[in-house]
Amino acid sequence: MTTHTTRMLILGSGPAGLSAAIYGARAGLNPIVVQGIQPGGQLTTTTDVENYPGFAEVIQGPWLMEQMQAQAEHVGTRMMYDTIVEVDVSQRPFRLIGDGGDVYEGDVLVIATGAQARWLGLESEESLKGKGVSACATCDGFFYRGKKVAVIGGGNTAVEEALYLTNHSPDVTIIHRRDSFRAEKILQERLFAHDAVNVLWNKKVERFIDGGGNAGLVGIELKDTVTGELSQIDVDGGFVAIGHHPATELFRGHVELDEDGYIVVEKGSTRTNVPGVFACGDVTDKVYRQAVTAAGTGCMAALDAERFLAEADFEKIAEAAE
């Protein structure tokens, strides 16, 4: 068992965690990033990225995360390939334990563990991810300009995704397994008033249909939840919009979470209810969930942490002088 100590300990290695690391390293805090179960975060499973500022051409998600990690390491970040299984934030330095027994101690902790989209769990869904099947209309809707698309779900996320997709597609279908939406009424009213949207009630997805070769998704096979009847629709893009799982189970009972499991931070900051513990990226964000917003809050977390340490150091000096 090895103990690794640092002034700034960061859990998570997506855009939020690596941005925090870059700013923390440049401030001389010698951060350690514990990469977690998915090094690089969700962008490592994304192919074409067209909406991250600074790149005129389409880039690949894994390449972007490789560059962020290289930048973080270049300025002095230590990357640890480990998965945390136990946390103690009851006193400083905060203490995290990896699944191999290594201990990580930090004077401040930045939580950037992200969130994962909920999927339907179909084999055909897995094989067509990035080939017509997506869980983020804001990320990928642009690639379906003028094409037929479908959204699966019935909550706020699904209705918002469908409305967003009308900016690109003249033919948007929502597939919902029940006969009414759970979404807020005002969103439903906007949806039903839109000529480009069609709703298929009482339908569940049985299979995403692969056109073979480089065709990708060409249709969706549906099953009626009342009659059991099978049907099929032709689509170019399918967007699964049934919510997200914030990766916060490890922190339940240690920091304040909201009713959906997201970490609660002070408005306009990344401070949690535990002094010295900060949270950034999708683990706090149920609205935007974009790489660029995650990176922005990662910067905020590093600046908040730096200020916290400066104040704590000043207090120690003042106490010693008394």
Closest residue by Cα to residue 113 from 252, 282, 269, 259: 282
pLDDT given at position 45: 67
Q: Enumerate the domain spans of the chain.
A: 3-116+244-321, 120-241
Long-range contacts of 208-214 (CB under 8 A, 24+ apart): 208/122, 208/124, 208/125, 208/128, 208/132, 208/133, 208/238, 209/124, 210/124, 210/127, 210/128, 210/131
Which is catalytic among the residues 82, 107, 140, 304?
Answer: 140
Q: Which of 82, 107, 139, 280 is catalytic?
A: 139
* Cβ-based neighbours of 230, under 8 Å, separated by 6 or more: 206, 221, 222, 223, 224
Please state which architecture CATH assigns to domain 120-241.
Answer: 3-Layer(bba) Sandwich (3.50)
Contact between 221 and 211 under an 8 Å Cβ cutoff? The reply is no
Phi (first) and psi of residue 57, to 5 degrees: -105, 160
The predicted pLDDT at position 316 comes to 72
Q: What is the pLDDT of residue 1?
A: 80
> CB of 34 within 8 A of CB of 11?
yes
Q: Give me the pLDDT at residue 322, please.
A: 66
pLDDT of residue 79: 96
- pTM score, whole prediction: 0.81
Helix (H, G, I), strand (E, B) or coil at 275: coil
pLDDT at res. 70? 97
Pairing of strands 237-240, 148-152: parallel
Distance CA 59, CA 47 (A): 8
- Both tokens of 269, joined, read 């900051």
Q: Does domain 3-116+244-321 have CATH number 3.30.365.10?
A: no
Please choose, from the candidates 61, 54, 9, the residue with its C-alpha nearest in 3D space to the C-alpha of residue 40.
61
* Fold match flag (3-116+244-321 vs 120-241): yes
Report, as ranges of residue numbers, the positions in the chain whose pLDDT lies below 50.
Answer: none
Please, is 78 exposed, middle or buried when counting C-beta atoms within 10 Å of its C-beta (0-12, 13-18, 19+)?
middle
pLDDT of residue 261: 95
pLDDT value at position 157?
A: 87
Quick one: pLDDT at residue 214? 87
140 is catalytic: yes
What are the pLDDT digits (tens) for 196-248?
999 999 999 999 999 988 899 999 999 999 999 999 999 999 999 998 889 99
Catalytic residue among 136, 210, 224, 299: 136
Give the count of alpha carbons within 13 A of 254, CB side only.
20
Largest distance between two CA atoms of the chain: 80
